[in-house]
Structure formats: C-alpha cells, structure tokens
Amino acid sequence: MTEIESFDIIIVGAGVIGVATAYHLQKNNPDKNILIVDRYAAAGQANTALSAAAVRNMFASSTNQLLTDTTIKYIEHVQEEIGYDLHFEKAGYLWLMSETQFNHPSVKEWMNRMEKSGIHHEVYDKKQLKKMIPSLNVDFIGDEEVDLMNLEEVDYGLFGGDCGFLDPTRLVEYYLEEFKKITHVKPRFGFNVKRLILGAVPPLELPGEPYVWQNKRVIGIETDEAEIHADTIVLATGAWANELLDPIGMNSQTKCKKRQMFVIHAEDKKRLQDVLHSEGFNELDSIPFVILPSAGVYFRPQLQEEGFWIGCGDKFGRAYKYIQTDDVLAPESSYFENGIYPVLSKYFPAFSDVRPVNSWAGGYCYSPDAIPFVYYENGVLVANGASGSGIMKADAMARIANALYQGKGEAELFGGRTISSTALSIKDRDVEVESVVI
Amino acid sequence: MTEIESFDIIIVGAGVIGVATAYHLQKNNPDKNILIVDRYAAAGQANTALSAAAVRNMFASSTNQLLTDTTIKYIEHVQEEIGYDLHFEKAGYLWLMSETQFNHPSVKEWMNRMEKSGIHHEVYDKKQLKKMIPSLNVDFIGDEEVDLMNLEEVDYGLFGGDCGFLDPTRLVEYYLEEFKKITHVKPRFGFNVKRLILGAVPPLELPGEPYVWQNKRVIGIETDEAEIHADTIVLATGAWANELLDPIGMNSQTKCKKRQMFVIHAEDKKRLQDVLHSEGFNELDSIPFVILPSAGVYFRPQLQEEGFWIGCGDKFGRAYKYIQTDDVLAPESSYFENGIYPVLSKYFPAFSDVRPVNSWAGGYCYSPDAIPFVYYENGVLVANGASGSGIMKADAMARIANALYQGKGEAELFGGRTISSTALSIKDRDVEVESVVI
C-alpha cells in the first residue's frame, strides 16, 4: 500500500485569488504545510492573465467598495512602500452617461454611497468632456442610425481618479514570491485535480463510506496519479468551481461567462493618438478606462503599446457556462465587427476603419449578486465568484479566507478596516447587492 | 421558404407545473393560442411521476405555507367539489425528533409560524407515540451502534393532519383534460426543444442579429425539425431549465439532485402490517408520512399495495447536477442497504431483514432558498425550482405565472389569498427562506 501524502492545507488554483490566499494563510499560520497547485504550467495563466487588468474602487455596494478600496490600497503599498513594481497606473475610470442615465436613482445612490465611503469621484459635463476629449462625439442629432442602435447621447462623465491598471502577472508573481519565501512546500503546476475526496468523521473504515448517516467532510483531492490528503482544501478555482463542488453536493452558485478583449494600435493614427493622450484626467496624460453609455462597450488605454484594449460587458444574450469550456477562450472577430465597432465608432469616430491587431478571450466567474463568495464548510474553504473583478478584490478575499481558517469572527483588511468573516458566505451572507457591473 | 408556425404561448414541459400553467393561462386568456410540448411520450412522465407524491402545508416559510396551503385546498376542491378523484388521502406527516431537535430555535420558529398561519399541527410525546406505534423504538440505551451512526433518540412527534398523498398522474390528467377542453391547439409529445431563439427588438433583418447593441427577447423555440415562434415561452422544465436558459445568458439559479425511492411490501409480515396500520393518526388508520430524526430517512405508507415507499433526503455528499442526466434515473441498491436500511431498522425494527421489491429514482430541481421561482423576463416565463415539492405548489405557481402574463401586480391564489406577482422572481425576490426541507 502506498503512503498517502498529506498537508495541512491544499490550495487549488494559482490565479490571483489562489496566490493571495496562499500568502496570507502561510504568513499567518507559519507552522502549517501549505501546498498550492494549478492545472496550468505556471501561476496566473488562466483568467487572471486574460482580463482587462483594470482596478476600481467605484462600486455601488459598500461590500465591494470595502473589498476593492482596501485591496487597491494594498496594491499601492506593495508598489510604493515595498517597492515591488506592479505597473499600477492611476489612469482613472470614466463612465459616460446620458442625462437620463445620470439621473437614474441607481446612479444617484451609487454616487451617494461613494460620497459616504470617501471614494473620490468627479462629475464632468458635456462641455468639460468635449474640452478634454475633443474628438468625443457628444451630439447624435441628425444621425438616424443611433436610434436603431439604441445609443444614448453623452451628457455627463463620472470619473474616479483612484482607479487604474496594473500588470496582473506582476501581482501574481509578487504574492507567489512572498509565499515561496515562507512556505515549506514547493508549489506544483501542471497538476490537475479531478475530484474532492469525501471522508467519514469519524472514519469507521467501512468499505464505501461515508454513508448517509455519517458525518462527512472533504479530506483530500484526487489527481490522475494520486490521492493527497489535507485538513483544509482551499478552492480558488474561479470559473471551474462547479466541477469540484457539484459532485460533493455543494452549490457554488457561480457560473462562467465569456469576455473578449480586442487590441487596437494607435501608431501612425494621429486621431487615435489624440484620444489616447487626452489631457486633464491624470498625471499620465492618458485617456482613462472609458465605459460608453450604450451596449456595455468599454475600452482602456495601453500606453506601452500605444494602443487600446476594447471589450464589451454584454449581459442577456451571452451564454452562461456551468464550468468554463474551451470555446470561452476563442475571441470572435464578428463580435468586434458587428457588435462593438459600430457602437465605438459612433462615440469615437477616431476609431473609424481601424481593425484589431490582436484579441483574446477568457471567463468571468459570476455570483448572482456580483459580490464574491468566501466561506468555509465541510473542510472546504471556497474563495470565488469575484464577478470579473478578482484582481481588485483578491487581497481582501484572501484575508477573509485566513480569518475563516483561523476561526476568527472578523477579518482585518489592509489598512485596518474590518469585515465579518461570514459576510461573504452563502449561509450567513450579509452584503449589499452590487449594481455597477461592467 | 417554409412558413414558420407561430403561437401566442408555447409551454415547454408537461409535468405538473406545466399542465397547471397551461390550464390557468388558457382559462384566463381564452383567445390565446397555447401550445404545450413535452420531450416524453405523455404528460407527467418525468419527475412528477417519480416523486413520493406527498403533499404538505407544514413549511416554515410563510411563502411556502401560502403556496402549499392554497394548492392543497385546490386539490381538495377538485376531489371533493368537482368530484375528480385524485386519490388524495390525508394520512398526515409525522416528524420524529429528539429533545434537542424539538427545542431547536428553528423548530420553535417553524411551529410559531404555523400557529400564526393557522396550519394544523399537533405534538405527541414519547409516551403517546409509543401507544400509537407500539413497535417504534424510542430507547437507544445500551445500543453502541447508534452513537457511531449519529442517531438521535425519538422524544417527540410533530404531526400535521392536513398533509397526505395523492396520485400525481391523476392530478396531471385533471389539468390536461381541463386544458384540452378549452384550448385551440393540440398538445405535442415526444417533442424535444433544443434551444430558445433570440430575436432583435425591433428586428432590422440583419444577418446574425441580434447584436450586442440591439434590444432582444426570446421569440421562439428550435427543435430538430423546425422553428416555432411565440410571443411568450413558458419554461416548466424543472431539472432541465439550465439547458435552455444558460445559452441565452439567463441564470436559473437551480440545480438538480437525485432522489431515490425503495418499495417494501408488508404482505405476510405481521410486524410491518402493524406499523402500516397504526391507529390514531387519521381516518385511514394508517401510519402517516414519517420523517426519522436522523440521516434524512423517511417513509410513506402505500395502502393500495400494502407497503411502504422509503426514501432519504441526503444533502451534503449527494451530487448536484447542472442538468438532469440519465444516471439520475438509476436507483442504487447499496444506497438502501448501507445507507437507509441501518437507520430505518434502528427506529423501526419491524423493517429488519426486509428488502425492497422495487425502486426508482428521479430528479429534484432545487432553488438556493428552497422557494420556487416564477418570473417573466425577455419573453420567457419561468416556473421552476420547486425543490422537491412541485406537486404541492403547482397550482399556486401556475396562478402566479398567469398574473405575470397578464401584467397584474398581484396573483389571486385558490381561496382568494393573494401574493405579489414578483415575489418569486429573481430580481425582486421577496420570500422567507425555507428551513424545513426534507
């Protein structure tokens, strides 16, 4: 009989949430043997690397505000005080809105809640926007197509200067390097977890246990080659959570949606360069992350490559996946051409006749209320459902995961603010539903 | 080009919720052309026919109390006043509990809420139970196995006399016959809906529409052979809802779990016959539906076949299915032998050494809060997630579906009590979480 390997904690998934959790667990529980594993050949190679890599604290729910504001402050701390360059740049977020949208009660509530939480934001009117982005089209009069396309005219801009971009690979590397300095166990990559193993508590060593009358918990993982045991299995598996949780009868309540990113270069295109280098928003003299008033289209500047990343947050009509499938990774050129481009070029005619030079796609792991899940049940500590904002919530989620592991009622986030450890759980969920989902 | 068939309403799924909805929609909207379709060769042949066919109004949430109490009163009305025999028999429900369980705050709250809602129930102590069911084992002293098996001793019985059983096929037939009397469209069976068709609103007749910037809604269904259009598609697809909703980006929030039923005959077994014909609970001189204090094991009498149906509501450890798969239909004999039987025979030694003569399995469609979903979005009217109690909620759910279809803010249930039409929706959900899930 082969000896079964065992650890105190196994972390499944080395995306940004997995490595952040590994680091905080090891730091706070220095004696524990913590193994982190990932299906891919290296950390942060799945959806963490495929996102728009944008971070914002401009959420409407106080829950997401707290998670992101403390995580962003930690990101700043790592870059400014620890001196580890994450390529974090505060270019800001700019929501363009019509009069009707701006005056919608949900937007008023959003702004009120940001006010109360001290989240910096500014409102620009049409005239100010036109001055800062001269080529922005703020006047659809005479254009019949915009009605057929349901496009809202730009009247206002809601801007947040503490938001920006970073390099997610650097952030993953930071956590992983710090984890490696203090861990006793070498991380394992190219390591595929097939299923979670349920054990009886106490084990009676009966064939086929656990039976329905036995208490049970997850006692380990099974791979193609081996069984490995641990007291706690952390699932940071994002869009794959159902694959491991459903078979043991735990409902993750998350589902995956595909998101695509299209790259456009501004080189040799004077009008696009002017958009890219819009002045007045930030110290970079860069256009911020821009969310158009219609169809969910958005873009971000990419100053290093003198270009833009363009995406779209379509909701109804875009399939949910039970678990992420391979087709989620395939961008669709027709989606840009027929879906995004017609919208983008109406607001920003400078994009007329340009085509993507590159594109990719990945999966978002959505929770029903767009607030993440962190809970510890049956030996499984689940941290997922960040709903497209894992990078900007990872540090807070990891600290909550550690508080749950340590049996603490409250988690202390970076900067000292606290949250109930069970606030993000399924059973004792205590959150505000998020309304500002891009 | 082939002419595309079209209807006002297509109802997908002719289980009990589908036929009840068909009937109430047609009755209240006599001019509408309503087509009901089902994958199987006849109505009510999937999970409706595979359940324990028990009905109870003894829920802890006022929401489920209302849905079941009005549905059961309608069932009585059909049988007593209309004179259509549904084989509805009020044998009652009996929860057996230990002292600790009985004094748990959730049980106290459950009883208080039933008190307030006027739902009849009675408490029996150990002595009374022993008198009514002489062979019930209420004393585990000296039995070391029960500790290893986590079995709670019987101290109390919570009994509800307005609960009972019916023949689900008869109930389905009743609704379908009544529907057929008033409909203009012949139901279609053996009819497999592959997907829902999304259309642009307004249609611009562009190839590949609807695009991301277009308003969209469901305009029809696609089968292997044809496309059929309708203004409204009702989904009463239970454990298969995700199959049609996920591809269009609607999250049903439901999942399927397998439930098994094992049949035991009491013929020639004097001790089992004595259990079956326990006196004092009801006019049938029958043992009620009995829920044991441990492991989720329950059984119901089946007087016609002089026997019992035995099942188990296992939770953690029993897999969720994204959509119902064929293996859900396969009962597992080892599940009875090693899981159910050891528990059952401890409380009711009369079951010692008996084996099932028959067994079957089916799928439950669970919602996260064990309250059904009824909502009308994007041209789709969804009625599902009854969480194992579709038969006892179908009539109320169907009346809510009709109110939503008619744009009414309130639904009038049988007997005149009302509920907000959006109370069971996902977006404006206003329900009490159910705690009494068997």
Q: What is the pLDDT of residues B378-401, one digit of tens each?
A: 999 999 999 999 999 999 999 999
Q: What is the pLDDT of residue A199?
A: 97
Look at strands A380-384 and A373-377 and give their pairing. Answer: antiparallel
Residue A110: band (very low, low, confident or very high) from pLDDT cuts 50, 70, 90: very high
> For residue A55, what is the DSSP state?
E
Q: Which of A145, A316, A344, A364 to mutate to test the interface with B (most CBs of B within 10 A)?
A: A316
- Measured between beta carbons, which residues in chain A are less than 8 angstroms from residue B316? 216, 248-250, 378
**Percent of chain A whose predicted confidence (pLDDT) is above 70:** 100
Q: What local confidence, expressed as pLDDT, does residue B416 receive?
A: 98
Do the Cβ atoms of A251 and B366 come within 8 Å? Answer: yes
| Residue B354 confidence class, pLDDT cut points 50, 70, 90 | very high
8 Å CB contact of A317 and B242: no
CA distance A28 to B76: 62
Q: Are B248 and A316 in contact (CB under 8 A)?
A: yes
The distance of A393 to chain B (nearest Cα, Å) reads 23
Report, as an integer, the average pLDDT of A323-352.
96
Alpha helices in A120-167 (DSSP H): 126-132, 145-148
Q: A95 vs chain B: nearest CA distance in angstroms? A: 17
Query: How many Cβ atoms are within 10 Å of A358's Cβ, its own excluded?
Result: 13
Best to test chain B binding among A212, A255, A337 (most B CBs inside 10 Å): A212
pLDDT in tens, B327-353: 999 999 999 999 999 999 999 999 999
CB pairs under 8 A between A and B: 124
CA–CA distance, A396 with A89 (Å, rounded to integer): 20
Residue A2: the pLDDT is 66
Q: What is the pLDDT of residues B207-216, one digit of tens each?
A: 999 999 999 9
Does residue B1 carry a pLDDT above 60? no
pLDDT(B134) > 60: yes
Selecting from A247, A248, A319 the residue whose C-beta is nearest the C-beta of B249 gives: A319
Mean pLDDT of chain A: 96
Q: How many angstroms away from the CA of B392 is the closest CA of chain A?
A: 25
Q: With bands split at pLDDT 50, 70 and 90, how would you rate the model's confidence at B3?
A: confident
Write the CATH number of the domain with boundaries B93-160+255-365: 3.30.9.10
**Neighbouring residues of A99: CB distance < 8 A, sequence distance ≥ 6:** A153, A155, A156
Q: Cβ separation of B322 and A246 shorter than 8 Å?
A: yes
pLDDT score at B2: 66
Burial class (CB in 10 A: 0-12, 13-18, 19+), A218: buried
Domain A93-160+255-366 top-level CATH class: alpha beta
Which chain A residues are closer than 8 Å to B212 by Cβ?
295-297, 312, 314, 317, 335, 339-340, 343
Q: How far is CA A436 from the centre of its chain?
A: 14
Contact B249 A318 (CB under 8 A): yes
Interface residue of B151, B204, B316 to substitute, partner A, most A CBs within 10 Å: B316
* pLDDT > 60? residue A428: yes
Q: What is the pLDDT of residue A336?
A: 97
Q: What is the DSSP letter of A244?
A: H
- Residues of chain A contacting residue B317, judged by C-beta atoms under 8 Å apart: 198, 210, 212, 216, 248-249
Give, in order, the Cα–Cα distances in Å from A133 to each of A160, A208, A279, A347, B351.
Answer: 16, 68, 8, 11, 81
Residue pair B235/B13 in contact by the 8 Å Cβ criterion:
yes
Minimal C-alpha gap between A412 and chain B (Å): 29
Q: At what angle do helices B62-76 and B394-405 cross, to 10 degrees?
A: 100
Residue A334, burial from CB neighbour count under 10 angstroms (0-12, 13-18, 19+): exposed
In whole angstroms, how far apart are CA B390 and each of B241, B383, B395?
14, 10, 9
- Residue among B250, B253, B255 whose CB faces A316 most closely: B250
How would you write chain B as a 3-class SS string? CCCCEEEEEEEECCCHHHHHHHHHHHHHCCCCCEEEEECCCCCCCCHHHHCCCEECCCCCCHHHHHHHHHHHHHHHHHHHHHCCCCCCECCCEEEEECHHHHCCHHHHHHHHHHHHHCCCCEEEEHHHHHHHCCCCCCCCCCCCHHHHCCCCCCCEEEEECCCEECCHHHHHHHHHHHHHHHCCCCCEECCCEEEEEEEEECCCCCCCCCCCCCEEEEEEEEECCCEEEEEEEEECCHHHHHHHHHHHCCCCCCEEEEEEEEEEECCCCHHHHHHHCCCCCCCCCCCCEEECCCCCEEEEEECCCCEEEEEECCCCCCCEECCCCHHHHCCCHHHHHHHHHHHHHHHCHHHCCCCCCEEEEEEEEECCCCCCEEEEECCEEEEECCCCCCCCCHHHHHHHHHHHHCCCCEEECCCCCEEECCCCCCCCCCCCCCCCCC
Which chain B positions have a beta carbon within 8 Å of A343's beta carbon?
212-213
Give dist(CA A103, CA A32) in Å, integer.
53
Which chain B residues contact residue A426 at CB under 8 A? 368
The fold adopted by the segment(s) B5-52+170-254+369-420 is: FAD/NAD(P)-binding domain (3.50.50)
The pairing of beta strand B297-302 with beta strand B289-291: antiparallel
pLDDT digits 0-9 by tens, B155-194: 999 999 999 999 999 999 999 999 999 999 999 999 999 9
Closest CA in chain A for residue B314: A212
pTM above 0.80, yes or no: yes
pLDDT of res. B18: 98
Max Cα–Cα distance, chain A, nearest Å: 80
Q: Which residues of B touch A312 (CB under 8 A)?
A: 212
Average pLDDT score over residue span A103-115? 96
List CB contacts (< 8 A) between B242 and chain A. Answer: 322
Is residue B312 within 8 A of residue B297, CB to CB? The reply is yes
pLDDT of amino acid A116: 94
CB-CB neighbors (< 8 A) of A253 in chain B: 253, 368
Residue B58 has pLDDT above 60, yes or no: yes
Percent helix, percent strand, percent coil in chain A, to nearest 5: 30, 25, 45
Question: Cβ distance B332 to B260 under 8 Å?
Answer: yes
* Contact flag B249-A320 (C-beta cutoff 8 Å): yes
Total residue length of chain B? 438
Residue range B119-129: mean pLDDT, rounded: 97
Domain boundaries, chain B: 5-52+170-254+369-420, 93-160+255-365
Supply φ then ψ for residue B167, to 5 degrees.
-100, 105
| Shortest Cα distance, chain A CAs vs residue B75, angstroms | 33
Say if the Cβ atoms of A342 and B210 lie within 8 Å: no
Higher-pLDDT residue of A268 and B26 is B26
Residue B77 in this model has a pLDDT that exceeds 90: yes
> Which DSSP category does A318 fall into?
S
pLDDT tens digits, one per residue of B403-424: 999 999 999 999 999 999 999 9
Q: Is the peptide bond before A210 cis (omega within 30 degrees of 0)?
A: yes
Searching chain B, which residue's CA lies closest to the CA of residue A316? B249
To test the contact with chain B by mutation, choose from A145, A195, A196, A211 the residue with the greatest count of B C-beta atoms within 10 A, namely A211
Distances (CA, A) of A27 to A70, A181, A240, A244: 18, 10, 27, 27
Closest CA to A430 of A133, A109, A138, A61: A61
For range A127-154, the mean pLDDT: 96
**CB atoms B208 and A247 under 8 Å:** no
Mutate one of B212, B257, B344, B427 to test the A interface: name it (highest A CB count within 10 A). B212
Nearest CA in chain A to B433: A427
Q: What was the pLDDT predicted at A224?
A: 87
Encoding tokens for residue A387?
Answer: 């709903």
pLDDT greater than 90 at residue B224: no
> Do A151 and A161 meet the contact criterion of CB atoms below 8 Å apart?
no
| Tokens 């109505």 sit on residue | B43
- For position A365, what pLDDT does the model report? 95
Local confidence band at B322 (pLDDT 50, 70, 90 cut-offs): very high
The Cα of B44 is separated from the nearest Cα of chain A by a number of Å equal to 27
DSSP bridge partners of A412 = A418
Note whether A346 and A143 are within 8 A (CB).
Answer: yes
Please answer whether residues B61 and B433 qualify as being in contact, where contact means their C-beta atoms are separated by less than 8 angstroms. Answer: yes
Nearest to A414 by CA among A426, A424, A402: A402
Q: What are phi and psi of A428, to 5 degrees?
A: -120, 40
- When pLDDT is cut at 50, 70 and 90, the band that residue B225 belongs to is confident
How much is the average pLDDT of A49-77?
Answer: 96
pLDDT above 70 (res B218): yes
Put simply, the answer to whether A316 touches B253 (Cβ < 8 Å) is no
Q: Which helix (H) or strand (E) holds A219?
A: strand A215-223
Instruction: Kindly report whether the peptide bond that precedes residue A105 is cis, defined as omega within 30 degrees of 0.
Output: no
- Supply the pLDDT for residue A3: 81
Cβ distance of B317 and A368 shorter than 8 Å:
no
Least confident among A1-5, B45-49, B315-319: A1-5
Residue A65: what pLDDT? 96
Q: Label residue A225 by pLDDT band (50, 70, 90).
A: confident
Report CB contact under 8 Å: B249, A257: yes
